[in-house]
Amino acid sequence: KPKGCTSFDVVEAVREGTGVEKVGHAGTLDPMATGLLILLVARPATRLQEAFMHLPKTYEGTIRLGETTPSLDTETEVEERTDISHLERADLEAIPPQFTGDLQQIPPMYSAVKVDGERLYKKARRGETVDRPARDIRIERFELLDWSPPDVRFCVACSKGTYIRSLARDVGDELGVGAHLRALRRTA
């Protein structure tokens, strides 16, 4: 999937390009994300959607430390900046073990999760914030690939339902400087 379009935009383009009405995808990617989007075209492929959605996923991305945004990514403006000059590589290397294994994660307000029958992103766009129940997720692998302050490149292998934007937020919170997701690519 290219950057800037939704997963549904890709599905619509395939419908129009093939003339096949039954097209679905197995795992939404945010508009800013790129990479692998599994498309299921026509029956019986669309009947396999649930099986494909439960497959583990792998991402590479960039976290910007010291800046927070309401959407936890670049889709909204930076709302707070924090000095990160005190951070050292050792501080970063202590992070992955804390975010590996079975975890609970709070979804972002800017997400398609429904609360009281309404998508959270609709509430967020009206300026509302609501309590979101934590979800069980699993992170199999979390590797730091590069540290070029203020950006950290990483690789994550995780379960269905993991929000990498929330992981970026949680990493920033753990380091005490805040963070948001700058780039994301699904690689598997």
Sign of the C-alpha dihedral computed for residues 86, 87, 90 and 94 taken in this order:
positive
**Catalytic hit among 9, 30, 116, 146:** 30
Q: What is the C-alpha to C-alpha distance for residues 78 and 103, in angstroms, rounded to an integer?
A: 27
Q: Is residue 151 flagged as an active site residue?
A: no
Q: What is the C-alpha to C-alpha distance for residues 21 and 4, in angstroms, rounded to an integer?
A: 23
Backbone φ and ψ for 71, nearest 5 degrees, come out as -85, -5
Q: What tokens were used for 16?
A: 């129009």
Backbone φ and ψ for 51, nearest 5 degrees, come out as -65, -45
Residues with active-site annotation: 30
